[in-house]
Structure 1
Amino acid sequence: MLDQHRTDILRLSLQKMVSEDVCDIRKNRDICERDMKYILQYLSQAVDLDSPILFRDFTTWLADVLINKKIPVSYLRTSYDILHEGIHTVFPGESWMDPFF
């Protein structure tokens, strides 16, 4: 379901990140875009399998990676909030995504 709208969700999310200068995106736009694509890809797979646990496990792993790279883990929560908002913009009024966040 998300795969068909991945480009729109990514575009909306990145626009919001730029407008709020989230995660130093102005300095690291390529890295942020790459990372958001990966997150959206894993989220899409978890949604297709109806497995919030799969996405939770990915999130735990990703948080560990950020900690080891000395990147603030708060960036992950902020990115997820913005991604969630982008998904709700593309799928207004839908709640099927909420268990994944």
Structure 2
Amino acid sequence: MQDAYGLALAANGTLQIPCARYVGQPMAPCAANVTRKGTDKADVTVTWPDGGSRVISFDAGLPASSDAGSDFRFTREGSLNMIRIGVSERFEIMDTVVLGD
């Protein structure tokens, strides 16, 4: 099932985003929940299929930090945020996930 933006939704309404946890691992769907904190701030909690989670914080609509102690960086292609944390973690989060409608 997909929402109005074509984002995949799980049966329980949890958003699915592409992610990878390990070096060389292909991107796979990971469950994600969004906590919006005003018009341009949000926390996206991504749950790994094999357990554990990562919180990615957005400020001014852009990826700003995570709860990991590793290097945090991102690039953008249109409205897609491609986030890397440390050597291996990768996430793809659309602006609509963070900003909503």
Shorter-chain TM-score above 0.5: no
Q: Taking structure 2 as the reference length, what is the TM-score of the superposition? A: 0.31
**TM-score when normalising by structure 1:** 0.31
Whose helix fraction is larger, Structure 1's or Structure 2's?
Answer: 1
Greater relative contact order, per chain length (Cα 8 Å cut-off, separation 6+): 1
Structure showing the higher strand proportion among its residues: 2
